Amino acid sequence: MRVSWFFSSVLLLGLAASCATSGEAGPDGFAAGGSSAQGGSDQAGGSGGAPAPAPLQPATGIALGEVALYQGVKVSLYTAANGQVTKRNAPIIQGRDALLRVFFAPKPDWQPHRIAVRVTLQPGQGEAQVLEIQGTPGGVSTDEDLNSSANFDIPAALLDGTLSLRVELLDVEAGQGDTSGSAWPVEGFQALEEKSAEGNFKLRVYPIRYDADGSGRLPDLGEERQKAIRHAFLKRYPIPGIELELGEEIPWTSKVSANGSGWQSLLQKLVNLRAKEKRPNVYYYGLFLPTNSLASFCIQGCVAGLTLISPGTDDPSLRASIGLGYNDEMSLNTILHEVGHAHRRTHAPCGPFGQLPDQIDPKFPYKTGKIGVWGYDLLDRTLKDPAKFFDFMGYCDPNWVSDYTFNALFQRVVALNNQAAFVHGNPTRWRQAWFDLEGELRWGDIVERTLPPVGEELTVSLGEGPNARQVKGYFHGMSHLPGGLLLLPEDVGTPDVLDAGREGRFYVRGRP
Ligand SMILES: [Zn+2]
């Protein structure tokens, strides 16, 4: 199944023009004045074109306080204090719907009167579109009050990498005072410089049939649940669209426990499935139900999901995660979180009762693990307060996405989608050595790679005595448990003694 952001959300969001006429209105009845797609000149078009916007004068006594675009997080484009923002906190993404907010900054001599907020959108090719809302601003616009600003929906299709815009405040009723700061840019148009994700996000979900207790329990992956998964990603991930595929049922007969035992074997199953996938930018996710309910499984805390975290450059073969598949919000959050790990994100610094997660991202910029800037839910049309919401890469609720994670995920999505065009070399063969929670070694499959191996490079000693030798191995830790996966050259065989020199995580072990 394929769902793109534009087609899935257009019914909810409507086009910019219809939004304007439906009245994104201020508290004082900042009423919609309608909007129209604006054609070329009257001379060329004859009598059939759309009417030209009224020739209004720049607004008096009021300036633009800020112009900001929201595709999940607030990206400020212009502020009255600093002018055009030259270094953005997150990219503007091609093919993804956006909300444009125009903030008002009335001047000391402002006399309330009716103005028009006009946004002219100029695509690289084709006709400009003019969106206009009229009303009387009630005062200074604020971040937390959507109704205090003039808001415009920018449809995904217009954000094609070539869009420029111009924002103007114009007097509808005569006013007094100066007109400085009433337009941005002062002359002409400003390019939005939308960035391409180079394709949709692709997620393949596998229902795992839990046979360990004889129940054969399966997670619900019906239409409604699939839609909930798609929407969760569309809201928080910097993607133009999501393609969700349903994998075949996987029977599983080993016990998976809340304390972490049994998780790695199941993850190994998904990693090996993923290793056969030829498309580099597809994420695999296995969902399972180890008990009847989350409450019974997680009675004293639990592992809820697991992913191999690949340091260094990208490794497509490790894009696999598993997690609880209960029909609740927590399982949805776990999918977002684990797939974040598969995007090489580590943790934001927040956990319940002040207990921080392991593997905190040292570069995470917000000390309390919060989202840092205002967020916006494009589907529910609600703002997310940075004083209240936590980044979903931490363990705290309620969660949203920080601009830091939004930006980092985008950089990764672009890198992976570009990787589809990588020139792959001749396949090389690697042996999997899995280390469990206690550091016990379990030899895994042989996997083929057509790109150089990645992971934490380790010098591994094989064998003992005069026959001992050393090879390079590549280690991948796990998101929420000790242990992980070591890739070794195939010709190491399965020696009885292996020392990767990582005391406390894995070390010399006899062959099981
Ligand atoms: Zn985690």
Residue 64 CA to ligand 1 center (angstroms) comes to 41
455-483 residue pLDDT tens: 888 888 887 778 788 899 888 888 888 88
Alpha-carbon 359 to chain mean position: 20
Give the whole-angstrom CA distance, residue 279 versus residue 178: 59
Looking at residue 311, its pLDDT comes to 66
The CATH topology of domain 3-191 is Coagulation Factor XIII; Chain A, domain 1 (2.70.50)
Q: How many residues does the chain have?
A: 512
Looking at residue 437, its pLDDT comes to 79
Task: Sort residue 297 into left (φ over 0), alpha (ψ -120 to 50) or beta.
Answer: alpha
**For the chain, what are the domain ranges?**
3-191, 201-372+392-419, 428-499
Residue 503 CA to ligand 1 center (angstroms) comes to 23
Residue 348 CA to ligand 1 center (angstroms) comes to 9
Look up residue 236 and give its two tokens: 């928080």
Residue 256 CA to ligand 1 center (angstroms) comes to 18
Residue 207 CA to ligand 1 center (angstroms) comes to 21
131-162 residue pLDDT tens: 999 999 999 999 999 999 999 999 999 999 99
Contact (Cβ atoms closer than 8 angstroms) between residue 373 and residue 89:
yes
Give the whole-angstrom CA distance, residue 134 versus residue 327: 45
Helix (H, G, I), strand (E, B) or coil at 93: strand
Cα dihedral sign, 182-185-188-191: negative
Looking at residue 421, its pLDDT comes to 59
Confidence of residue 502 (pLDDT cuts 50, 70, 90): low
Q: Nearest CA to 150 among 13, 33, 58?
A: 33
Helix, strand, coil in percent for the chain, rounding step 5: 20, 30, 50
55-83 residue pLDDT tens: 899 999 999 999 999 999 999 999 999 99
Give the whole-angstrom CA distance, residue 119 versus residue 129: 8
Look up residue 120 and give its two tokens: 């002219």
367-410 residue pLDDT tens: 999 999 999 999 999 999 999 999 999 999 999 999 999 999 99
Give the whole-angstrom CA distance, residue 347 versus residue 343: 12
Residue 330 CA to ligand 1 center (angstroms) comes to 13
Residue 480 CA to ligand 1 center (angstroms) comes to 6
Confidence of residue 352 (pLDDT cuts 50, 70, 90): confident
Residue 345 CA to ligand 1 center (angstroms) comes to 9
231-278 residue pLDDT tens: 999 999 999 999 999 999 999 999 999 999 999 999 999 999 998 888
Q: Nearest CA to 249 among 216, 224, 279, 226?
A: 216
Q: Nearest CA to 341 among 361, 370, 367?
A: 361
Residue 348, Cβ neighbours under 10 Å: how many?
30
Looking at residue 440, its pLDDT comes to 79
Residue 347 CA to ligand 1 center (angstroms) comes to 6
Looking at residue 312, its pLDDT comes to 56
Question: Alpha-carbon Rg of the chain, whole angstroms?
Answer: 27
Residue 334 CA to ligand 1 center (angstroms) comes to 8
Residue 239 CA to ligand 1 center (angstroms) comes to 21
Contacts of 84 (CB under 8 A, 6+ apart): 77, 78, 184, 185, 190
Contact (Cβ atoms closer than 8 angstroms) between residue 343 and residue 355:
no
Q: Which residue matches tokens 């409604």?
A: 224
Residue 395 CA to ligand 1 center (angstroms) comes to 8
Asked if residue 512 has pLDDT above 50, the reply is no
Cα dihedral sign, 417-420-421-423: positive
Residue 467 CA to ligand 1 center (angstroms) comes to 41
The answer to which of 17-26, 59-68, 190-199 has the lowest mean pLDDT is 17-26
Give the whole-angstrom CA distance, residue 98 versus residue 79: 19
Domain 201-372+392-419: assigned CATH number:
3.40.390.10
Q: Which helix (H) or strand (E) holds 282?
A: strand 282-288
Average pLDDT over all residues of the chain: 85
Look up residue 324 and give its two tokens: 């609880």
What secondary structure letter does DSSP report for 298?
S
Strand-pair category, 241-246 with 201-210: parallel
Residue 399 CA to ligand 1 center (angstroms) comes to 13
Contact (Cβ atoms closer than 8 angstroms) between residue 291 and residue 253:
no
Give the whole-angstrom CA distance, residue 18 versus residue 13: 9
Looking at residue 414, its pLDDT comes to 80
Give the whole-angstrom CA distance, residue 492 versus residue 489: 6
Residue 411 CA to ligand 1 center (angstroms) comes to 20
Contact (Cβ atoms closer than 8 angstroms) between residue 301 and residue 248:
no
Strand-pair category, 282-288 with 320-324: parallel
Give the whole-angstrom CA distance, residue 106 versus residue 154: 25
Looking at residue 7, its pLDDT comes to 22
Does this chain's domain 3-191 share its CATH topology with 201-372+392-419? no
422-454 residue pLDDT tens: 666 788 898 988 888 777 788 888 888 777 777
